[in-house]
């Protein structure tokens, strides 16, 4: 019997939510922080969070992309080739590209200035000023500009997903829910999303 996935596997689901919420919080907090003048206790108090948390998220993003390319189960009845389906795929691709490129640009800025990332218990240092110093300033500019673009795109993606589920009532969010048991992930006999009369 041919089976079809209706959902992402549980590891993909966990990584999607941890990284997704992490990115929204990290970018939102950094933009919020930037609203306060230099020296303000909120601006200075939140400053130590961004770089270590962004670096940890980057490590998780590498795990996610590797998992997605090699082992992930993705819904087989993916988007149809209509305009909305192609747009959704392009947004997903752009989000993946930004998830990789954005933290890399941040790291180029930090290490290209021979700065360290302070994790509290230890620091990460990779002095690359000699080789990356020339790119550091523009890397920071691109990081900040693309950071705003990514925050906006992630919000658009989240709003579209919630709109599909709660307004169009097509059950889209069920693809990103944890399966209760391994069988629920892979069956053609899943109960319909809307109960038949």
CA distances 86 to 7, 78, 90, Å, are: 19, 11, 6
Q: Is 97 in the site for ligand HEM (CB under 6 A)?
A: no
The three-class DSSP label of residue 180 is coil
Rounded to whole angstroms, the Cα distance separating 6 from 172 reads 10
Q: Which H or E run contains 140?
A: helix 129-166
Residue reference for tokens 């899943």: 190
Rounded to whole angstroms, the Cα distance separating 109 from 111 reads 6
**Near ligand HEM by CB under 6 A, which window of 38-46, 106-114, 127-135, 187-195?**
106-114
Interacting residue with ligand HEM among 5, 9, 15, 54 (CB under 6 A): 54
Rounded to whole angstroms, the Cα distance separating 191 from 141 reads 50
Residue 11 or 24 having the CB closest to ligand HEM? 24
Interacting residue with ligand HEM among 176, 186, 187, 190 (CB under 6 A): 176
Q: Is 42 in the site for ligand HEM (CB under 6 A)?
A: no
Which residues sit at the interface with ligand HEM, rule CB under 6 A?
Answer: 16, 20, 23-24, 26-27, 30-31, 34, 50-51, 54-55, 57-58, 68, 74-75, 79, 88, 92, 95-96, 99, 102-103, 106-107, 109-110, 117, 140, 143-144, 147-148, 150-151, 154, 157-158, 161-162, 172-173, 175-176
């Amino acid at each position: 019997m041919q089976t079809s996935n209706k959902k992402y596997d549980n590891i993909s689901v966990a990584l999607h939510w941890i990284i997704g919420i992490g990115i929204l919080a990290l970018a939102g907090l950094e933009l919020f922080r930037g609203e306060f003048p230099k020296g303000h206790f909120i601006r200075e108090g939140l400053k130590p969070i961004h770089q270590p948390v962004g670096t940890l998220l980057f490590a998780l993003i590498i795990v996610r992309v590797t998992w997605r390319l090699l082992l992930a189960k993705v819904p087989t009845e993916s988007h149809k080739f209509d305009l909305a389906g192609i747009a959704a795929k392009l947004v997903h691709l752009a989000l993946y590209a930004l998830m990789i490129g954005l933290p890399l640009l941040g790291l180029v800025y930090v290490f290209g200035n021979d700065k360290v990332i302070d994790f509290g218990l230890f620091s990460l240092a990779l002095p690359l000023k000699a080789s990356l110093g020339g790119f550091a300033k523009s890397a920071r500019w691109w990081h900040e500009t693309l950071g705003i673009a990514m925050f906006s795109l992630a919000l658009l993606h989240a709003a579209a997903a919630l709109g599909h589920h709660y307004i169009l009532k097509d059950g889209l969010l069920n693809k990103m829910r944890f399966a209760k048991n391994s069988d629920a992930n892979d069956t053609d006999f899943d109960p319909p999303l809307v109960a038949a009369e």
